[in-house]
Chains A and B, each alone.
Chain A
Amino acid sequence: MKLLQWLLGIVVCAWAGQYVLALLLPYLAMEALYFLGDKRQGHNQLVVAAVPDENSRHVVRPSPDLLYASCIYNLKEGALTIEAPVPARYWSMQFYQMNTDNYAGITNQRAERDRVGSIASVTLISADQSPENYEGDVIQSPTSRGVVLLRASAMGDRSQQQAALDASICRPADP
Chain B
Amino acid sequence: MLKNLSKLTAAAIITLVLSAVLLARTIGAGLNGMNLQNGDWVTSTATGTKDANILLKAGVALGGLLASAQEDSMYYRLSAINGEPLRLNCRYRIEGRDYDANWWSVTAYGWDNYLIPNSQGRYSFNNENLMRKVDGSWVITVAATEQPGNWLPIGPAGAPAWRKSTSHDFDLLLRLYTPGETYLNTPRSAPLPRVTREDCQ
Contact status of A25 and B57, CB under 8 A, knowing A57-B114, A62-B115: yes
Interface residues of A in 89-103 (CB under 8 A from B): 90, 92, 94, 96, 99-103
B118 within 8 Å of A (CB atoms): yes
Contact A26 B58 (CB under 8 A): yes
Q: Which of A7-15, A115-123, A127-135, A167-175 contacts B (4 or more CB under 8 A)?
A: A7-15
Contact A63 B105 (CB under 8 A): yes
Tell me the minimal C-beta distance from B189 to chain A in angstroms.
Answer: 23
Report which of A10, A21, A65, A105 forms a contact with B14, defined as CB distance below 8 A: A10
Number of interface residues of B (CB under 8 A): 53
- For B26, list chain A residues within 8 Å (CB): 18, 22
Name the residue of chain A whose CB is nearest to the CB of B55: A22
B72 within 8 Å of A (CB atoms): yes
A29 within 8 Å of B (CB atoms): yes
Q: Which of B37-45, B63-71, B136-144 contacts A (4 or more CB under 8 A)?
A: B63-71
User: B-side binding surface: helix, strand, loop or mixed?
Assistant: mixed
Contact B103 A19 (CB under 8 A): no
In the bound complex, CA of A67 to CA of B109 (Å): 18
In the bound complex, CA of A25 to CA of B56 (Å): 11
Contact status of A100 and B60, CB under 8 A, knowing A18-B26, A21-B20, A90-B103: yes
Tell me the minimal C-beta distance from A125 to chain B in angstroms.
Answer: 19
Contact A105 B72 (CB under 8 A): yes
In the bound complex, CA of A15 to CA of B105 (Å): 37
Contact A54 B116 (CB under 8 A): yes
Report which of A19, A54, A105, A149 forms a contact with B69, defined as CB distance below 8 A: A105
Contact A155 B58 (CB under 8 A): no
Number of interface residues of A (CB under 8 A): 51
Contact A54 B118 (CB under 8 A): yes
Contact B114 A94 (CB under 8 A): no
Contact B61 A100 (CB under 8 A): yes
Contacts A/B (CB < 8 Å), 26 sampled: A10-B11, A15-B22, A17-B18, A17-B19, A21-B23, A25-B62, A29-B65, A52-B115, A53-B121, A53-B123, A54-B116, A54-B117, A56-B115, A60-B113, A61-B109, A61-B113, A64-B124, A65-B105, A65-B175, A92-B68, A100-B67, A101-B52, A102-B72, A105-B72, A110-B178, A155-B128
Closest 6 CB pairs of A and B: A17-B19, A14-B18, A29-B61, A102-B48, A22-B58, A60-B113
Give chain A's interface residues, CB within 8 Å of chain B.
6, 9-11, 13-15, 17-23, 25-26, 28-30, 33, 52-54, 56-57, 59-65, 90, 92, 94, 96, 99-103, 105, 107, 109-110, 147, 149, 151, 153, 155-156
